[in-house]
Structure 1
Amino acid sequence: MKILKKIEKPMKTFVKLSALTVLLLSSCTKFLEEEPASFLTTDQYYKTEEQIHAAANGTYDGLNMPFASEITLAASPVYALEYITGYSRRPRPTGGDDDQFLLLQNIQNSNGRFETWWNATYIPIENCNSFIANVSQTSVVNEETKNRFLGEVYFLRAYYYFRAVRLFGSIPLKTEPTLNLDNIQIGKSPIEEIYNQIVSDLQFAENAGLPWTDKSGRVNLAAVKSLLAEVYITMAGYPLQKGANYYQMAYDKSMEVINAGEYSLFASYADLRDPAKNNSGEHILMNQRDQKNATSIIHFHFMPYPEPSKPVSVIPNMGGSMAPTTAFYDSYAADDLRKQEKQFFFKVSNTPFIYKFWDDEAEQTSRSGANFPLMRYADVLLLGAEAKTMVDGGTTQDAAALDAYYSVHKRAFPSSKRPSSISTDDVLKERYWELCFELHTWFDMIRTRKAFDVENDRIVSLIGFKAPNHNRAFEEKDLLWLIPLAEIQANPNLK
């Protein structure tokens, strides 16, 4: 059933871990739209298959929560995940909250960006916990249907925790729904314990009977295995440093996705922007948007900006949150197809801007409903190749790893020859170029503790590296985001 189908909304309890109140939170119906039609507690809900389906839809809300737009022109908390890397600039002036990430200066835990990302973790996790606790015991639906819904929700809980533990480090681990006000000031859990829970949730989802693909945009088996590969390669690196065995597990899991043959790279980069190809082909998991009910901020706010005297959009005065630094843009080879006009970028007065997520339909309607990619097959190919280079000591001649790397590289350089070996640095550079501005780069930087010195074409240590748009070099204190001040004030256990 397509996620956008209209279903009555449930209400589910959640606890914001810092708060002293238990609130009722609505789920999405169309997965995307409308205010709740009624206020129901969990003991009144989960009584029909339709209600269970609606509740499952509601657990997807956290995928979009960081993409919230703000009153400030072209501002959103999600942009911070690219600003912090130092490879992007903001064409429009901005306030202090964004500048702290853009310039890497004076970052404070009162910054509202931290609060949004924190809420985007624990609000949807509480919804997941409520769903799992209630649906695990239900007999309303048959076992096959129940397991598939549970598989989706276990995946989503793992996804939210994985996103948060990489950003904030040691955080509260909570896997039961909140039923009253007792014991809500939960302390932090060890990072490894959180990762173990993530793996456990994904292993449940892996065996839940999910299909390899799902054109409607629901969680599928490829997304589960792809996320496991990324979790394993992260556990192999920093901060846990589990090493070779986990790199091997990341390689093996990536190969399961690759060898399944259910996904393939698009023939052209334009296909990445084709709405007819959403949730298929190269797109493993996307943030689902809808032009009528749940618009996307990416086209008009994230991208087009050039001043009204040189308009490139029907709404030339709204965008300007994100553009590549000149140094990052120049790091692409001149003959890299990704650098060609209107592939990943476009230029105005010789200044580069992002074109990667351009929405042609939005230019006709002034509203964008374009999905945003969360997991792409290109990412999985490069994860597998990187993992194998690490297993083999930094360089590999493994045929499958070479094929995985080369398939991504060859699309950018059609006349290139298949290499006889690749290094970890080769793959990391390819990840910077291929996955730019898709919210992957910062996570790559902190798990590898490496950065791309684009001005000198080399991979270097992250600590001590000054990125193109930053005012200073990275320090150890920059590797984890700050737990929001409001959360610490409400819950001293978070200090």
Structure 2
Amino acid sequence: MNRLVLIILLLTGVACNKFLEETPTGALNPGNYYKTPEQVLAAVNGTYDGLARPFEINIGIAVSPVYALEYITGYSRRPRPSGAEDDQFLQLQRLDPANSRLQNWWNATYYPVENCNSVIENILTTKVVDSVIRQRYLGEVYFLRAWYYFQAVRLFGDVPLKLTSTKDFNNVKIRRSPTAAVYDQIVKDLQAAEQSGLPWTDISGRVTQGAVKSLLSKVYITMAGYPLQKGAPYYQLAYEKSAEVINSKSFTLFTNYTDLRNVANQNKAEHILMLQRHTTAAPSNIHGAYLPYPVLAISIQPGYGGAMAPVTAFYNSYADTDARKQERAFFYTRYPRYGKPTDTIVFPSPYVYKFWDDAAEVSGRSGANFPLLRYADVLLICAEAKARADGGVTNDAVAVDAYYAVRHRAFPAEARPATVSAEAALKERYWELCFEFQTWYDMLRTRQAFDVTNGAFVPLKGYKAPNHLRAFEDADLLFPLPLAEVQKNPDLAL
């Protein structure tokens, strides 16, 4: 963990296009910074940079560590040939601690956390912004620190809990903290963010009260399940927090699935928090990554796609009448040839259309945002959490309405049910949030897997997913710590 006040200076973060386009000016010591309101804002903007780290490309599409979260579920495949590091997730081989995806996930936590710690310390003492602005900035950064730790503790389990910036390079070797302590700090940070005066929504894409309460509902439902198993009281907390988001009336589902990828709708309505992208300052790789491979001629973007596609069994788990399965909703099986629309290219199997970018089809560069927190997610948390709090099934009106809102969009002819079960809500999560890098976390907290062939939930341990060579074992449920980190800091092995 490095003390570089790096993100303060790398203003390619994710709040709004304005600061995405700012140019770094050099390396500054914090003692020489925070002298103007503009510098304070730049520092806060920089803490958003960590949201993009899992999506970054090094030398190839699937080198982005975020894809590992879908590969490991076993419900996706990589049409483009992959290397051994990808295959460890795709086929559920033994994860090698030297796998670079692990190091990338570690970096996506601890570089951003170091910068959040530094910014918090300096904002607390700065006098160049008023108290209202100071509190809002602190709320954003507390949220982001909670986000980064939440991703780390779910992937690695016990991790170092570091809440101050590094001031001495001779004192950077710290031990892992118990998982429960990390979750307690995550909750504490989010509760502080709740009290910071953030607005419920923000069209520029900054952290909002809606994002804070939505993430807190996800944290509570996770703490209720594995590994902490806090049970019914925390399911009730997840329900109550998600109900606050619903009752705020600040968010709504889009009417049509096409609206989810309409750039005019970014940071609005259903999109509670998005990874902010820009065609030149911070382009997105998602459109190109999901292009059919080796079928290349449906977009002007170079044909380096094939990072991920659904396995047939998962695609077939959707009912034929499910609107999400209809052509060019979440998936597609054919598309007009680029430059010759009268010629339709038929794919050998379905691909992901969920994040198609019309602009990138013709320009070759995507600036489309990516959803990080979506209202449909919160609605399904509400339904599942209340059902579990009530023993597996609930007739609570808020929970049933939340479930039905998501279900009704997929099946407009279905009537509102009188009750909803936790299993029904969880199934909807698999179908609704597919390929948004959420499913693995649901599998971990429930210790269940969706047997898509038989349409039923089974214990995660012992389940052989469609794309895997073997069944899940206990050792597969946490990523090993990156080898390089343990070599640098042997205390991590203690």
Q: TM-score, normalised by structure 1?
A: 0.94
Per the alignment, residue 301 of structure 2 pairs with: 315
C-alpha displacement at 1:350, in angstroms?
A: 5.0
- Tell me, yes or no, if the aligned pair for 1:102 and 1:469 is still in contact at 8 Å: yes
Per the alignment, residue 6 of structure 2 pairs with: 25
Per the alignment, residue 401 of structure 2 pairs with: 403
How far apart in 1 are the matches of 2:61 and 2:6?
A: 28
How far apart in 2 are the matches of 1:477 and 1:91?
A: 27
- Tell me, yes or no, if the aligned pair for 1:306 and 1:312 is still in contact at 8 Å: no
- Tell me, yes or no, if the aligned pair for 1:307 and 1:316 is still in contact at 8 Å: no
- Amino acid of the residue matched to residue 204 of structure 1? A
How far apart in 1 are the matches of 2:382 and 2:66?
A: 27
Per the alignment, residue 342 of structure 1 pairs with: 328
How far apart in 1 are the matches of 2:22 and 2:351?
A: 34
How far apart in 1 are the matches of 2:47 and 2:5?
A: 14
Q: CA offsets per residue over residues 15-49 of structure 1, 9 Å max, x none?
A: 34xxxxx5452433353356631211010011111
For residue 373 of structure 1, give the secondary structure of its aligned residue in structure 2.
Answer: strand
Unaligned segments of structure 1, at least 5 residues = 1-14, 17-21
C-alpha displacement at 1:70, in angstroms?
A: 2.5
Matching of residue 279 in structure 1 with residue 267 in structure 2: yes
Per the alignment, residue 442 of structure 1 pairs with: 440
- Amino acid of the residue matched to residue 281 of structure 1? A
- Tell me, yes or no, if the aligned pair for 1:104 and 1:471 is still in contact at 8 Å: yes
Matching of residue 240 in structure 1 with residue 228 in structure 2: yes
- Amino acid of the residue matched to residue 427 of structure 1? A
Per the alignment, residue 218 of structure 1 pairs with: 206
Matching of residue 167 in structure 1 with residue 155 in structure 2: yes
1:295 to 274, 283, 287: 283
For residue 475 of structure 2, give the secondary structure of its aligned residue in structure 1.
Answer: helix
How far apart in 2 are the matches of 1:354 and 1:136?
A: 45
- Amino acid of the residue matched to residue 29 of structure 1? L
Matching of residue 393 in structure 1 with residue 374 in structure 2: no
1:270 to 258, 264, 267: 258
- Amino acid of the residue matched to residue 121 of structure 1? T
How far apart in 2 are the matches of 1:34 and 1:78?
A: 26
How far apart in 1 are the matches of 2:193 and 2:313?
A: 41
Matching of residue 186 in structure 1 with residue 184 in structure 2: no
How far apart in 1 are the matches of 2:97 and 2:270?
A: 38
How far apart in 2 are the matches of 1:368 and 1:196?
A: 38
The verdict on how the C-alpha distance between 1:44 and 1:448 changes in structure 2, with shifts beyond 3 A counting, is same
- Tell me, yes or no, if the aligned pair for 2:12 and 2:49 is still in contact at 8 Å: no
For residue 242 of structure 1, give the secondary structure of its aligned residue in structure 2.
Answer: coil
Per the alignment, residue 360 of structure 2 pairs with: 362
Q: CA offsets per residue over residues 100-133 of structure 1, 9 Å max, x none?
A: 0000012110000000000010000010000101
For residue 352 of structure 1, give the secondary structure of its aligned residue in structure 2.
Answer: strand
Per the alignment, residue 421 of structure 1 pairs with: 419
Per the alignment, residue 428 of structure 2 pairs with: 430
Percent identity over the alignment is 59
The verdict on how the C-alpha distance between 1:178 and 1:395 changes in structure 2, with shifts beyond 3 A counting, is same
Of 349-358 and 440-449, deviating more is 349-358
How far apart in 2 are the matches of 1:97 and 1:307?
A: 21
The verdict on how the C-alpha distance between 1:398 and 1:129 changes in structure 2, with shifts beyond 3 A counting, is same
Unaligned segments of structure 2, at least 5 residues = 14-19, 334-345
1:109 to 90, 94, 97: 97
- Tell me, yes or no, if the aligned pair for 1:26 and 1:36 is still in contact at 8 Å: no
Matching of residue 459 in structure 1 with residue 446 in structure 2: no
For residue 361 of structure 1, give the secondary structure of its aligned residue in structure 2.
Answer: helix
C-alpha displacement at 1:74, in angstroms?
A: 4.6
Q: CA offsets per residue over residues 126-151 of structure 1, 9 Å max, x none?
A: 10000101101121110000000000
1:328 to 306, 310, 314: 314
Matching of residue 304 in structure 1 with residue 291 in structure 2: yes
C-alpha displacement at 1:398, in angstroms?
A: 1.1
- Amino acid of the residue matched to residue 490 of structure 1? K
How far apart in 1 are the matches of 2:411 and 2:330?
A: 14
Of 74-83 and 368-377, deviating more is 74-83
C-alpha displacement at 1:299, in angstroms?
A: 0.3
1:256 to 218, 231, 244: 244
How far apart in 1 are the matches of 2:450 and 2:415?
A: 24
- Tell me, yes or no, if the aligned pair for 2:394 and 2:420 is still in contact at 8 Å: yes
For residue 214 of structure 1, give the secondary structure of its aligned residue in structure 2.
Answer: coil
How far apart in 2 are the matches of 1:60 and 1:24?
A: 13
- Tell me, yes or no, if the aligned pair for 2:292 and 2:306 is still in contact at 8 Å: yes
- Tell me, yes or no, if the aligned pair for 1:168 and 1:481 is still in contact at 8 Å: yes
For residue 121 of structure 1, give the secondary structure of its aligned residue in structure 2.
Answer: helix
Q: CA offsets per residue over residues 176-200 of structure 1, 9 Å max, x none?
A: 0111223210000011111010000
Per the alignment, residue 481 of structure 2 pairs with: 483
